[in-house]
Chains A and B, each alone.
Chain A
């Protein structure tokens, strides 16, 4: 691929119109379910629970007919970051305190010790990150930009009654989404235009100030362009009678069907289960076997 090629991939997500049962759910349910499950995964720390969580996400991916290879591609991109995080985790984990609390030591080098508890926490973290990335991939595979917009808008709309600027917020979201491909294309064009004048974007030499200055030929025009487009759009919107969310009607009406309620209930139930499950005894057994 050329030095500039990557930018057209910057559109939101990798939506795959598979037509699975998950695809046909109300967009609000798709979004809420992922948020709720993601929340549960972020809160828990137990290895066994996170392992179950990961299995659950894999199951959902299968239900959504997302090919495993496609899903894992997102994880593969994560590997370098994962490596760094895990290394930091290993170094900064309070191993000594864990030893005092009863965890066996696994390895020692001078004053530095690695406890079993530390390694377990490491693996748990790993599982959590993978599960969350897969969950995000699931969301973007079953919901495209428009679905997400409808979901956000639909969820916030009831709040309009109490004076919350739901429509305005949703509009901010829509407009940001629809400008993404435009700005990505512009960025590519700018890189090419400056490269045509001899700019060399390849190497990260020089002091931080120099390196920042080197991005000006891209950022300044992009910013100016984005602001200009925003102003033009604002004028066009006003010309079409936009006056905020009050008194507006809507073409798209989301209606929850039985299947949607069931799916939402299932998602909430699973999230609650993940939050409630205590498999601490399994971890203790694991330590004992390692010790």
Chain B
């Protein structure tokens, strides 16, 4: 089900008929994507889910030109990712934070690492300084600017990765399972900042295995064996439980609970995805005793 809101604006990213296969040692190419069409509108928050091996990370890397499609095209703000002239511009527009907090920082000092991206763009010194300041502030790392990245906690390291990407002023932020290696505190830190960035107008593509996180997006795209199997709002996607389970996925725990309650209490709404929604739904229907 294609998402129609925002179609009036020029799409930020357009993926057309993309196939991708990894060249393999034995000579047989391993297909990872088999015909994907997708558009991402400015400011849209999309969750990309799918079982391991479905092609999520591959798709992400195609969006900023780290990989080039075997066939099909990808445009970022009208720029073809296959055109080497646009490489820098595309990487400036599409920022990416990866899964492992240990493998994304380059420098031995926090503020110098944040500057790495803008330095690559050849920006003048005052602009560099300004961007580093801003990125440190947004991610709450200003007080840690002279520290060594190696001594930061997991959550802080991912915030540093975010800062480094934000300093390039992207219009789309791709998070490739960026919170999966963090402890609960670290996850909260990162998710809070991402939500803030979305409210400020940044488009977000979040690849995640945690259905509770996916439930917070505006749109959920399900990838299965290299193709898009479902594409709709979280309510639309997560109520199609049968389909999801056949794809090897699960629904957010609250959606399970809602179904269970719905079977016993007839008027209970079938579409409850987050704990906050559950609390609201129960309070509304519980009647007496509620403050």
A interface residues (Cβ-Cβ under 8 A, vs B): 145-146, 149, 171, 174-175, 177-178, 181-182, 229, 232-233, 235-243, 247-253
Contact = CB atoms under 8 A, between A and B. Distances in A.
B112 to A, nearest CB: 6
B64 interface: yes
Nearest to A178: B108
B196 to A, nearest CB: 21
B121 A241 contact: yes
A125 B290 CA distance: 88
Contacts of A182: 102, 150
A229 B120 contact: no
Residue picked from B95, B102, B119, most chain A C-beta under 10 Å: B119
Contacts of B289: none
Interface of A is mostly: helix
Contact of A248 (B95, B122, B149): B122
Contacts of A181: 150
Given A171-B106, A251-B119, A251-B128, A178 B149 contact: yes
A240 B66 CA distance: 10
Contact of A249 (B98, B105, B107, B123): B123
Contact of B117 (A171, A240, A253): A240
A229 B125 contact: no
What are the 10 closest A-B residue pairs judged by CB atoms, nearest first?
Answer: A232-B103, A251-B115, A241-B120, A240-B117, A236-B104, A241-B91, A239-B96, A146-B108, A247-B122, A229-B103
Nearest to A244: B120
B103 A233 contact: yes
B274 interface: no
Interface of B: 61, 64, 66, 87-88, 91-92, 95-96, 98, 100, 102-109, 111-112, 115-125, 128-129, 132, 148-150, 161, 164-165, 168
B66 A239 contact: yes
Contacts of B132: 251
Given A149-B108, A240-B91, A249-B128, A235 B150 contact: no
A236 B103 contact: yes
Contacts of B88: 241, 243
Nearest to A242: B120
Nearest to B167: A240
A232 B96 CA distance: 12
A240 B90 CA distance: 10
B112 A252 contact: yes
A235 B58 CA distance: 13
Contacts of A229: 100, 102-103
B66 to A, nearest CB: 6
B72 to A, nearest CB: 21
Given A182-B150, A241-B168, A243-B88, A233 B106 contact: yes
Contacts of B111: 251
Nearest to B121: A241
B139 to A, nearest CB: 15
B150 A232 contact: no
B115 to A, nearest CB: 4
Interface of B is mostly: helix
B92 A237 contact: no
Given A174-B106, A177-B108, A249-B128, A239 B91 contact: yes
Contacts of A171: 106
A174 B102 contact: no
B43 to A, nearest CB: 21
A286 B149 CA distance: 56
Nearest to B115: A251
Contact of A240 (B100, B120, B122, B148): B120
A251 B127 CA distance: 10
A61 B69 CA distance: 59
Given A232-B103, A233-B103, A240-B168, 15 more contacts: A146-B148, A149-B108, A178-B149, A178-B150, A232-B100, A239-B98, A240-B116, A242-B116, A249-B122, A249-B128, A250-B119, A251-B112, A251-B119, A251-B132, A252-B112
Contact of B64 (A239, A242, A250, A252): A239
B98 A236 contact: yes
Contact of B164 (A233, A240, A250): A240
B84 to A, nearest CB: 10
Contacts of B92: 241
